[in-house]
Amino acid sequence: MDIKTLVLALALGNLSLCAALFFFEAGARRSGQTARIHATWMWAKQCQALAWFLLYCRGELPDFLTIPLANAILFAGFALDASALWEQAGRRVWRNYLVPALGAGVGVYVAAWLLQLPAGGRIAIGSAVTAFFFLAGAAALGRGWRSGTVLRRYLVALMLVLSAAVLARGLLSLPAMALEGLNPVAVQSAGIVALYLMMLGNAFGYLLLVREHEHGELARLEVVDALTDVPNRRGFYTALTPWIALARRPGMPTALIILNLDQFKRVNDSYGHSAGDMVLKAMVDVCKKQLRDSDQMGRLGGAEFAILLPRTSAEDAGMVAERIRQAVAALPVKAEKAIINMTASLGVTTIRAEDSTVSLFKRADEALQAAKQAGRNRVAEAPAAIL
Ligand SMILES: Nc1nc2c(ncn2[C@@H]2O[C@H](COP(=O)(O)OP(=O)(O)OP(=O)(O)O)[C@@H](O)[C@H]2O)c(=O)[nH]1
């Protein structure tokens, strides 16, 4: 295959990836950070498609368009590719390094063109810049190598090999490095094939990270409450299970508090659902400040939360619950249109040897209902076990 056809294949390949991503995006209706990463990747592909088309027109358009401008756009496309991979890996800060690196790469390349360096020198500079951005992308994909899938490792290895191939192409383009018997056209063709494979490797790498991120998020949301970021009922029950088993052994008990915000429905009705959400989040923050690191808070649903206090007696748990009650009552929540004062009722118990999850929550809930019936904004303790 001649070099011009390969360059055209790269332009069309990037264009078709752009179209594929556009439809992938249109169906998914992503938001926030994910949408931003997709946009970065789309820009990367558009830059690369444009640059390859300009390079394809070499000889038909003025040189300043098909040499410095085309290569500057191409480097920008590679930098954006690496940037999307780093953002997807959760490290936005990498943009701060990639942007200056792009500026330096473009600067050196344009200077080489202005100084009329031989084509081999320019190719070597271009290959070094390209390999740098490929390696940066491979590094993003290689994060979490040990726990990564085999496919991810394969892609990292592929990207490393291809980066080395691109670098080798650049070195072999230097007149001083030219090996005897090596066909320069074959070297250039091999370099462009490496770039083609890198285009595919990058695309698969990116889609793989998106898929892994989305799977991780789905798995997280099975056990974590999306609004307050504490374990949901399922996550909390999972955390509770070993403590129920441990309660059958003698030793310090484990306590359970159930907290319910008082007349929370009124907050929603008076100030709107989003104000209610703000109250729930603020309430979790307030409670967490009163707890130890080893304590565990979860959202059972609505305005009801559970708090597990390992190695805590009923008396101490009662004190913690009272501290939480006072903290909630003392903290007005600033919502968009109002300052909302809340109170909470709390039921306290300790896990008994014979307890199941059902009997434990039944007892804590009865204590909570007693606190509600006694007038709310108070703590009630379940009766002690009859020995
Ligand atoms: N803003 C918001 N409200 C929620 C959410 N989940 C449930 N709710 C509302 O929370 C309210 C729960 O009210 P309850 O706990 O049953 O009753 P209450 O009004 O707090 O009254 P008492 O518990 O008797 O003091 C209902 O109005 C639900 O619609 C949520 O995620 N966000």
- pLDDT of 201: 82
| Average pLDDT rounded to a whole number, residues 320-330 | 96
Q: Is 226 in the pocket of ligand 1 (CB under 6 A)?
A: no
Question: Are the C-beta atoms of 299 and 277 separated by less than 8 Å?
Answer: no
> Measured in angstroms, how far is the CA atom of residue 280 from the centroid of ligand 1?
10
Q: Domain 233-381 - what CATH class?
A: alpha beta
Residue 387 has pLDDT above 80, yes or no: no
- pLDDT of 178: 64
Closest ligand 1 atom to the C-alpha of 277?
1
CA-to-CA distance for 69 and 71, rounded, in angstroms? 5
CA-to-CA distance for 57 and 301, rounded, in angstroms? 63
Place 360 in a pLDDT band, splitting at 50, 70 and 90: very high
Residue 181 has pLDDT above 90, yes or no: no
Place 30 in a pLDDT band, splitting at 50, 70 and 90: low
Structure tokens at 65: 């368009």
- pLDDT of 25: 67
| Average pLDDT rounded to a whole number, residues 269-285 | 93
Pocket test for ligand 1, best of 268, 283, 343, 377 (most atoms within 8 A of CB): 268
Pocket test for ligand 1, best of 232, 263, 265 (most atoms within 8 A of CB): 265
Place 27 in a pLDDT band, splitting at 50, 70 and 90: low
* 61-65, 202-206, 268-272, 363-367: segment of lowest average pLDDT: 202-206
Name the CATH architecture for the domain at 3-223.
Up-down Bundle (1.20)
Which residue shows structure tokens 């000889």?
59
Q: Whose CA is nearest to atom 15 of ligand 1?
A: 303
Which residue shows structure tokens 């109002």?
338
> What percent of the chain is predicted at pLDDT more than 90?
59
CA-to-CA distance for 329 and 279, rounded, in angstroms? 12
- The reply to whether 3-223 and 233-381 are identical in fold is no
Query: If DSSP codes are grouped into helix, strand and coil, which group holds residue 300?
Result: strand
- pLDDT of 149: 77
Q: Is 232 in the pocket of ligand 1 (CB under 6 A)?
A: no
Residue 125 has pLDDT above 60, yes or no: yes
User: For the chain, which residues make up each domain, given as ranges?
Assistant: 3-223, 233-381
Closest ligand 1 atom to the C-alpha of 266?
19
| Average pLDDT rounded to a whole number, residues 265-269 | 92
Q: Is 268 in the pocket of ligand 1 (CB under 6 A)?
A: yes
pTM score above 0.80:
no
Closest ligand 1 atom to the C-alpha of 345?
25
Sign of CA dihedral 274, 278, 340, 380: positive
> What percent of the chain is predicted at pLDDT more than 70?
95
Q: Cβ neighbours of residue 297 under 8 Å, at least 6 residues apart? A: 230, 231, 284, 287, 288, 291, 305, 306, 307, 308
> Measured in angstroms, how far is the CA atom of residue 82 from the centroid of ligand 1?
46
Q: Whose CA is nearest to atom 11 of ligand 1?
A: 265
Closest ligand 1 atom to the C-alpha of 269?
27
291 HSE (CA, 13 A, CB side)? 23
- pLDDT of 79: 95
Instruction: Give this complex's ipTM.
Output: 0.90
pLDDT digits (tens, 9 = 90+) for 89-116: 888 787 788 999 999 999 999 999 999 9
